[in-house]
Amino acid sequence: MVSKQILSVLQQVKDGALDIENAYEKLKICPFEDLGYAKIDHHRTIRQGTPEVIYGAGKTAEQIEGIIHSLLSHSPQNILITRLSEESADYLSQRFSLTYDSLSQIGVVNRLKLLTTSGTIVVATGGTSDIPVAEEAALTAEVLGNKVERLYDVGVAGIHRLLSHADAITRATVIIAVAGMEGALASVIGGLADSPVIAVPTSVGYGANFQGLSALLSMLNSCASGVSVVNIDNGFGAGYLASMINHIGGNES
């Protein structure tokens, strides 16, 4: 695309439709057109084809409000707000049509209907304490237009619970395995499935879990092929990546 823009500018210069100074300005910014809009990267929305995402942690409700206004003024896109506190959600829901899930702390503004993928993303957790992170992943994937199936509390200490869902696992296009403590879920699922497994270590546990380190190292050392890992508690990242992969297979006809 960038190449096309350069060629087009050059053609216009040759045709005299554009003088050199303006062409220079265009060329300098062509891949960076968004930079005129300061901190908010409208360009990226287009380039990556996804809703804009606001990381809510550490931002005031007013700051988030400002960013939403700026985004909405530019295009009628979907906006996903992660790690949004209940207080901020209350504030924002009085100003925008906000859908909010308090468990995963995800808010969605101005929801457009997206095409849905033909493939399914399975989101599995080891325990019930992992569910908030899993919901961050699942809701992110749903906002991005994916079919999502949840398998919660299927940890390896009761392996029969997981095995009874072997069908869902083998049918999935992508699987997100969310687990704290020993993080073994990713390996077991990785051994059952033929599809990519995105492992999300959580900080669930205590003592020698060292705030998620145990699950993180466990997942990085998975003896199963097809497993990769995102940051501790990074449900959003897993959901976003799963959506990327799931869209390779296209949408429902």
Strand 227-229 and strand 98-101: pairing?
unpaired
Note whether 61 binds its own copies by CB under 8 A: no
Note whether 167 binds its own copies by CB under 8 A: yes
Query: What is the b/e burial string over 25-64, where b = at least 16 CB atoms within 10 angstroms of the residue's CB?
Result: ebeeeeeeebeeeeebbbbebeeeebbbbbebeebebeeb
44-52, 69-77, 89-97, 99-107 -> range binding its own copies (CB under 8 A)? 44-52
Our CB check for its own copies shows the closer of 107 and 180 to be 180
Q: How far is the CB of 93 from its own copies (least distance, A)?
A: 23
Q: How far is the CB of 222 from its own copies (least distance, A)?
A: 5
Note whether 216 binds its own copies by CB under 8 A: yes
At residue 99, the 3 state secondary structure works out as strand
Query: What is the distance between the alpha carbons of residues 136 and 128, in angstroms, rounded to a whole number?
Result: 14
Query: What is the distance between the alpha carbons of residues 86 and 211, in angstroms, rounded to a whole number?
Result: 24
Q: Taking CB under 8 A as the criterion, which residues in 15-34 touch its own copies?
A: 20, 23-24, 27-29, 31-32, 34
Maximum CA pair distance of the chain?
73
Q: Taking CB under 8 A as the criterion, which residues in 113-152 touch its own copies?
A: 119, 126-129, 152
Q: Taking CB under 8 A as the criterion, which residues in 218-247 touch its own copies?
A: 218-234, 237-238, 240-241, 244-246
